[in-house]
């Protein structure tokens, strides 16, 4: 199938925009597993909640950026409460406990969203209009912004983990949390920090994604399969792997939709199977470590 060059460039930029959203949503999942050894399925609830709060504040104030910031801050406090009240009870239990419990939190959260906001899809206007010419092709300016912001956040997370004392402790905890505890560091404070950071990034992903799609209560559930493909392909616990796999999956979904619609769903799954057969821990994942 021959693809027009302008159409290909548009698809590439669209894929990058999707990659940015995937990265913001899945980097939290990866961090939570890497340090805390929990599978935090409620990140999809924070993603949907961030989008709905952004939508509401836009209607009240007319300011997208205020809505986005409010959504991130509100989710931060909600996630802090959930971590304190619920997750603290299961850190020492097998990983299946976290999967079941977080799935329950996710379902309950989606139910609350439905009760407050209803079921009707809600449109959000992009705060950045117009187009930017790239190689003779006009691409939406807002998608370019999302791409650049995702890159900046990746650099910020990398700097935090590699150049700060707290980030170094988090990385050490990912390798061996027991040794970190032996050094006198309260590992549970690192757990709390990691969890609210992950939830905040998920809420940011939801708010940023809102202008690209319709905001609905089940939006987190619809993106779950792609998010898990990203973290599995990249390797749980690896920020670099999450970034690279987000890029790969975003492009596969975008070009798959362009070439043949079912490829958007089939191709990422096939790639995930191939990666798991060759490297079961993912592209950049390490062997399973003890907490």
Looking up tokens 């449109």 gives 123
Residue 260 domain flag: yes
- Whether 41 and 166 have beta carbons less than 8 Å apart is answered as no
Q: Answer whether residue 288 is part of any domain.
A: no
**Would you state the pLDDT for residue 290?**
43
Ranking 42-56, 100-114, 176-190, 210-224 by mean pLDDT, the lowest is: 176-190
- The b/e string for 148-179 (b: 16+ C-beta within 10 A; e otherwise) is eebeebbeebeebbeeeeebebbbbbbeebee
State residue 45's pLDDT score.
94
- The model's pLDDT over 154-199, given as tens digits with 9 standing for 90+, comes to 999 888 888 888 777 776 666 666 666 666 677 778 888 888 999 9
Q: What is the rounded distance in angstroms from the CA atom of residue 187 to the CA atom of residue 181?
A: 6
Count how many domains the chain has. Answer: 1
- Residue 170: which domain range? 5-278
**Domain presence at residue 289:** no
Residue at 286 is within a domain: no
Question: What is the Cα–Cα distance from 65 to 71, expressed in whole angstroms?
Answer: 10
| Confidence (pLDDT) at 176 | 61
What average pLDDT does the segment 2-28 reach? 83
Q: Across the chain, what does the average pLDDT equal?
A: 85
**Domain for residue 96, yes or no?**
yes
Residue 284 lies in a domain: no
DSSP letter assigned to residue 88: G
Q: Which helix (H) or strand (E) holds 139?
A: strand 137-140
The pLDDT, as a whole number, for residue 209 is 93
Inter-residue long-range contacts of 95-101, CB under 8 Å, 24+ positions, other chains counted: 95/37, 95/38, 95/39, 98/37, 98/38, 98/39, 98/40, 99/39, 99/41
Q: Is residue 54 part of a domain?
A: yes
Long-range contact list for 75-78, CB < 8 A, 24+ apart?
Answer: 75/46, 75/49, 75/50, 75/199, 75/200, 75/202, 75/203, 76/196, 76/199, 76/200, 76/203, 78/46, 78/49, 78/199
Q: Is residue 168 part of a domain?
A: yes
The CATH number of whichever domain residue 219 belongs to comes to: 1.10.3470
CA distance 109 to 103: 10
Q: What is the pTM of this model?
A: 0.89
Phi, psi torsion values for 227, nearest 5 degrees = -65, -40
* Interatomic CA distance for residues 282 and 276, integer angstroms: 6
* Mean pLDDT (whole number) for 126-137: 83
Q: Is the pLDDT of residue 289 over 60?
A: no
């Amino acid at each position: 199938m021959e693809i027009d060059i302008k159409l290909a460039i548009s698809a590439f930029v669209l894929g990058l925009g999707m990659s940015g959203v995937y990265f913001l949503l899945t980097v939290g999942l990866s961090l939570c597993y890497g340090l805390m050894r929990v599978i935090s399925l409620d990140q999809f609830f924070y993603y949907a909640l961030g989008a709905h709060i952004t939508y509401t504040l836009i209607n009240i104030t007319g300011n997208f950026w205020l809505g986005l910031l409010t959504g991130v801050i509100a989710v931060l406090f909600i996630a802090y409460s959930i971590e304190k009240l619920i997750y603290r009870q299961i850190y020492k239990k097998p990983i299946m406990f976290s999967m079941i419990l977080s799935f329950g939190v996710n379902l309950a959260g989606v139910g609350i969203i439905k009760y407050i906001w209803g079921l009707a899809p809600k449109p959000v206007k992009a705060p950045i209009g117009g187009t930017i010419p790239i190689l003779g092709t006009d691409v939406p300016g807002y998608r370019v912004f999302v791409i650049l912001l995702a890159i900046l956040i990746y650099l910020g997370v990398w700097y935090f983990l590699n150049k700060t004392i707290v980030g170094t402790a988090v990385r050490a905890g990912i390798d061996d949390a027991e040794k970190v505890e032996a050094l006198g560091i309260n590992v549970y404070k690192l757990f709390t920090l990691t969890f609210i950071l992950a939830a905040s990034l998920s809420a940011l992903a939801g708010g940023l994604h809102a202008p690209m799609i319709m905001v609905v209560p089940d939006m987190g559930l619809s993106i779950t399969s792609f998010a898990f493909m990203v973290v599995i392909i990249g390797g749980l616990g690896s920020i670099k792997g999450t970034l690279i796999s987000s890029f790969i999956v975003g492009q596969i979904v975008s070009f798959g939709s362009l070439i043949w619609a079912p490829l958007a769903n089939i191709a990422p799954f096939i790639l995930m199977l191939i990666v798991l057969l060759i490297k079961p821990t993912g592209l950049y994942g390490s062997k399973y470590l003890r907490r």
